[in-house]
Amino acid sequence: MKDILTAPFLIEMCKTTANMYRLGWDERNGGNVSYLIPEEEVKEYLDVKKVIRRIPTGFKAEALAGKYFIVTGTGKYFKNVESDPETNLGVLRISEDGEAAELLWGYKDGGRFTSEFPAHMMSHIARLAKDPENRVVMHCHPTNLLAMNYVHELSEAKLTHTLWEMCTECIVVFPDGVGVLPWMLCGTNEIGEATAKKMEEFRVVVWALHGVYGAGKTMDETFGLIETVEKAAEIYMLTAHLPRINTIRDEDMVRLAEFFKVKYRKDFLNLGK
């Protein structure tokens, strides 16, 4: 059996969390990541019959029964993941009844998965129903997007439109737009259910005055999705107090979307209004 520290899924998780911390998206123990791993990959590195312990999921996750994830731990700092992955990460399998996560590796200090585990798993269920290749859910607190929450109307259409105006690539990278939830208590099934509902429609969901959830097929794609939204928010925050002389027109956004053959939210544009 191969050394799990050489597993591509573990290396990806370590590099991604390190980058998220470096960019200031995940201060202290803020943020969490979950990554769905195919069983055949896990079996190369772990004895899947050897369960260290069962951790209650706190909700019925039977739709994910038998699926394997690597998940950041609760209370863990992203800056420490790369140097000590076995303490800060866990590889687990959802039990057949969906009521527990069977820990196969990690959380060696007795820890457990992130407090946002319900939101992650519910979002995985929603995204897998839309696209079976969506394997990553990522939550973080990007500085400029969070700042934008305080000075921009939190309407999905208006927030998306503003972000699309900031960079030529935006409508291509997130053509489905940005979903928005009002401020809610984090770490609860309620916010998990609300996030999952939004994930049926969007791959990016803003938690008002808190942070963002992103979903994608790979670590790189999901990271790049949030990175693009954050870059657009940064440009907005750098220019919002200045008179705008130039902007990307809605007609130009349509040309971009059609050229790159992406399905975009036409109702989020101001064409003919």
Positions marked catalytic: 116
The set of residues, in sequence order, having a beta carbon less than 8 Å from that of 259 and lying 6+ positions away, is none
Long-range pairs, 107-112, Cβ under 8 A, ≥24: 107/73, 111/73, 111/74, 111/75, 111/76, 111/87, 112/55, 112/73, 112/74
8 A C-beta contact, residue 210 and residue 141: yes
Which residues are within 8 A (CB) of 12 and not within 5 positions of it... i.e. 6 or more apart? 35, 219
- What region does 140 belong to: left with phi over 0, alpha with psi -120 to 50, or beta? beta
Judged by DSSP in three states, 32 sits in: strand
CB atoms within 10 A of CB 58: 18
Are 217 and 133 in contact, with CB atoms under 8 Å apart? yes
Ranges of beta strands (E only) in the chain are 32-37, 53-56, 68-72, 89-94, 100-106, 136-140, 179-181, 204-207, 211-216
Handedness of CA 149, 24, 84, 226 (dihedral sign): positive
> Is residue 4 classed as helix, strand or coil in its secondary structure?
helix
Pick the closest to residue 33 from 108, 113, 92 (CA basis): 113
